[in-house]
Chains A and B, each alone.
Chain A
């Protein structure tokens, strides 16, 4: 296993050296982004980026730590546990779909070869419900956040581990698509995701300090004080797009799922720390 891994690393190393100018592998992308943040914030420990802007916003961090003493997402975790345990009308439970559950957040998103799409946890949960004759849950607000919060909580400490299967052109295309989305400027304000969360991470936008793209995917679902509720990653995507005055895309549509694939890949090796609390 180890030998194989080393060989693979060497091979990818060779390939990427030979092709540096023509093509950057996902691993090259991740290293470049990591290096960027390490250079930009030399005094921030790497895992700290998983705490978003609180990695470098001292004042914000104080109130955040105070909030975390009595986390506002606790009720969601409890309700989520009840959902996880309560059998469907047909007597089955989520466990029948996700045998390794509930600590399964680190397995998502992944490339689903059969369905030829990026499978996110939210989508998988709804597919499980529908397969068992239950109505799917809404993807932005509402009770989907409870079950996601429970699974996230149970998965804490596991490491983000997104895989782009070797030689699978579909998976790579989805990743590349997500990467393009991330760097594409859109909306009336002409911002890309990267404009704020890479180029200007740590800078202020009006009164807020912008969070880093690195480690950004680990804390979802998130309780936001602004929302007064726990919300999904795709709800946050929607909000970001609206803020740059672009028409948001559909939650769990292809665009956002591919973006999630790319963004989460960038956070590989980061420990999961959801559900999170943010302003």
Chain B
């Protein structure tokens, strides 16, 4: 009799465990769907809803009804992402300067009257405004005929290691970019697009001498990890996690890193002979940072300065 009771009891317990797990899954799915719906409405409120977001939410609801909770969560998250992309797209369009006068319009129309000359970056581009430490800075090219490359960058002999010549590709799927692309991304970052960040990987002494306006200083040695991929000291891990979560938009929960909302980073250091930004990129990939969200400005400060582009002291 007693054995029977115990058996019955454990059976009931097992049953309720399964039931509880199912409840938990259902709640997770419902919460994901709710989040997706909020995200969709958020996008719609600024006229930025995408075509399929609503349909994906419908599919998620259908999957939930059939008890396919994992599928429902996956679909709902997709819809949530679409909602946030649509919202950001609409906002970035609303805040875009010259929205209704794109360069192709006047470029094609007033041919001959484009007065490219001194101080121009491209025939159509004289400068862009970016925000550096809360202040607007215009990046343009110097018109000073006597301007020379600063002394810190004017010599060519450098010891390797550490100052070895870098390859054109630093890692798979990481785009190597030049000044015009950096300018485009700086413009986005300065016009309210929080999904992009241009990172100066050099140490503070270097940044003090001048950096790219609109860039954020995150010294390379704060992101480096040792060969085991761990830090000897906990406080260093804390600093790294802080940078990842506060600066790069990585979500950290229960010791796990979620890179889905991580920013697109443009990393640079002193030049094509400088290993710091490339090392940071490799480290970030090791940590799970999506490679397609990493861009490498290989030319760095050396290239920036030799083109006479504006720099700023922090």
Contact = CB atoms under 8 A, between A and B. Distances in A.
- A joins B in a complex: yes
A186 interface: yes
B56 to A, nearest CB: 11
A29 B100 CA distance: 9
Nearest to A249: B47
Contacts of A249: 47
A39 interface: yes
Interface stretch (A164-172, A177-185, A227-235, A269-277): A177-185
Contacts of A39: 108-109, 111
Interface in A74-104: none
A180 B105 contact: no
Contact of A247 (B51, B102, B108, B109): B51
A186 B48 contact: yes
- Chain A at the B interface: SS class: helix
Contacts of A133: none
B164 to A, nearest CB: 39
* Chain B interface size, under 10 / 10 to 19 / 20 to 34 / 35 or more: 20 to 34
Interface stretch (A5-13, A109-117, A187-195): A187-195
Given A35-B109, A183-B99, A188-B82, A247 B104 contact: no
B203 interface: no
A19 interface: no
B51 A183 contact: no
A138 interface: no
B101 interface: yes
Given A35-B109, A39-B109, A247-B44, A242 B102 contact: no
A255 interface: yes
B50 A246 contact: yes
A116 to B, nearest CB: 20
B209 interface: no
B100 A183 contact: yes
A191 to B, nearest CB: 11
Contacts of A255: 47
A249 B82 CA distance: 18
Contacts of A279: none
A172 to B, nearest CB: 13
A135 B102 CA distance: 43
Given A180-B100, A199-B104, A245-B51, A186 B109 contact: no
B54 interface: yes
A185 B89 contact: yes
A198 B102 CA distance: 10
A198 B105 CA distance: 8
A24 interface: yes
A242 B101 CA distance: 24
Given A35-B109, A39-B109, A247-B54, A194 B102 contact: yes
A190 B51 CA distance: 12
B240 interface: no
A28 to B, nearest CB: 10
Interface string B77-107: 0000010011001100110000111101110
Contacts of A184: 90, 93-94, 99
Contacts of A180: 99-100
Interface centre among A188, A194, A198 (most CB of B within 10 A): A188
Interface in B286-310: none
B52 interface: yes
A33 interface: yes
B215 to A, nearest CB: 25
A187 B49 CA distance: 7
Contacts of A29: 100
A187 B51 contact: yes
Contacts of A246: 49-51
A255 B46 CA distance: 12
Interface in A12-44: 24, 29, 32-33, 35-36, 39-40
B110 interface: yes
Given A185-B89, A186-B90, A199-B104, A247 B50 contact: yes
Given A245-B50, A245-B51, A198 B101 contact: no
Nearest to B110: A35
B264 to A, nearest CB: 15
B280 interface: no
Query: What 6 A-B pairs come out closest when comparing CB atoms?
Result: A35-B109, A247-B49, A36-B109, A245-B51, A183-B100, A184-B93
Interface of A: 24, 29, 32-33, 35-36, 39-40, 179-180, 182-188, 190, 194, 198-199, 241-242, 245-249, 255
22 contacts: A24-B101, A32-B109, A35-B110, A36-B108, A180-B99, A183-B100, A184-B94, A185-B89, A186-B47, A186-B86, A186-B89, A186-B90, A186-B93, A187-B50, A188-B50, A188-B52, A188-B82, A198-B102, A241-B51, A247-B51, A247-B53, A255-B47
